Amino acid sequence: MTTLLYTHDACLKHDPGSYHPESPARLRSVLAGLSQPEFAELKRREAPRAALDEVARCHPRPFIEAVLAAVPQRGHTALDPDTVLSPGSGEAALRAVGAVCAAVDAVIAGEGDNAFCAVRPPGHHAEADRAMGFCLFNNVAIGAQRARQKHGLERAAIIDFDVHHGNGTQAIFENNPHVFYASTHQSHFYPGTGARSETGVGNIVNVPLRQMSGSAEFRRAYDEYILPALEDFRPDIILISAGFDAHRADPLAQLLLVEDDYTWITERLMAAAARHCEDRIISSLEGGYDLDALASSAAAHVRALMTA
Ligand SMILES: [Zn+2]
């Protein structure tokens, strides 16, 4: 497989504060892991800055402008207790959206089979008109809409294995039968959404996992519920909200995944992409807060993406 890697230095300059878990060190850690010799074949590309019209595929213009206007000249501005802006946050957020959009374009154009976007801030908690949970703009949701609206793909699937439910992505697409959203996440946990009963217009599959669930429960959720539903949906492209905070070492959550689980789910999604959509997968970094586990888990995911 030819795998593209999109990132930008600006994504290191969003700094919500020295005690904030969503730190620039996370991305440095991921990139250090992906600089090992086994990743030499990655096609590395600088993420462009997304145009505001691009962000507007999923967010109202006044919301976009309000977020960018809140970016401080110095110090910090909190949009909510978790979601904090620093002077570099606006540029970082636009590069994060730009990475996913450029990756969608490149994979559809056949410049690579799949792509990983090593970006921050993450996106899956961002609702159409609300930044929250460390997220400003919903990078993956915007990428899905670009694939449909710019490239004319009919059906986009988003798979979210971050330990938190992607309330933003679900809210954006819960009435849109052309976008499938499936999530595994820790139950009774931030942000409180993602019950099994939340099924949208038949396009949403949520599988909450109890605290201390591990590989067996995670894989069963995909084998029994999510992968069969994805198969029925017949996606024209698959996007992944790739959070690695369900790892057993993660300090923010209580699931017990290991690196091999990220290899496993990546391989299963690649098999679905091979059957339905010419291998097209665009994956984008969401959470993951233990720096070592994040680096090794992201490496396992990208290693699998690179392997036919
Ligand atoms: Zn998360």
Span from the CA of 136 to the centroid of ligand 1 (angstroms): 14
Q: Rounded distance, CA 266 to CA 286, Å?
A: 15
Q: Give the contacts of 73 (CB within 8 A, at least 6 positions apart).
A: 87
Span from the CA of 122 to the centroid of ligand 1 (angstroms): 9
Beta strand pairing call for 114-117 and 237-242: unpaired
Backbone angles phi, psi at 108, to 5 degrees: -65, -35
Whether residue 77 contacts residue 90, with contact meaning beta carbons closer than 8 Å, is answered with no
Span from the CA of 163 to the centroid of ligand 1 (angstroms): 5
Span from the CA of 288 to the centroid of ligand 1 (angstroms): 6
Q: Give the contacts of 80 (CB within 8 A, at least 6 positions apart).
A: 131, 132
Q: What are the average pLDDT values for consecutive 10-residue runs of the chain, which has 308 residues?
A: 98 96 98 98 98 98 98 97 97 98 98 98 98 98 98 98 98 98 98 98 98 98 98 98 98 98 98 98 98 98 95
Span from the CA of 182 to the centroid of ligand 1 (angstroms): 15
Number of H helices, E strands in the chain: 10, 10
What is the three-class DSSP state of 146?
Answer: helix
Tokens of 196: 């099994």
The predicted pLDDT at position 308 comes to 76
Span from the CA of 97 to the centroid of ligand 1 (angstroms): 18
Span from the CA of 261 to the centroid of ligand 1 (angstroms): 16
73-90: b (≥16 Cβ within 10 Å) or e = eeeeeebeebbbbbbbbb
- Interhelix angle 291-306/259-276, rounded to 10 degrees, is 30
pTM (predicted TM-score): 0.98
Catalytic residues: 125
Give the DSSP H/E element, type plus range, for residue 241: strand 237-242
148-164: b (≥16 Cβ within 10 Å) or e = beeeebebbbbbbbbbb
Span from the CA of 203 to the centroid of ligand 1 (angstroms): 22
Whether residue 272 contacts residue 235, with contact meaning beta carbons closer than 8 Å, is answered with yes
The predicted pLDDT at position 220 comes to 98
The predicted pLDDT at position 287 comes to 98
Span from the CA of 111 to the centroid of ligand 1 (angstroms): 30
> Between vectors from CA 198 to CA 217 and to CA 223, what angle results, nearest 5°?
30
Which of these, 178, 83, 175, lies nearest to 123 by C-alpha position? 83
The predicted pLDDT at position 236 comes to 98
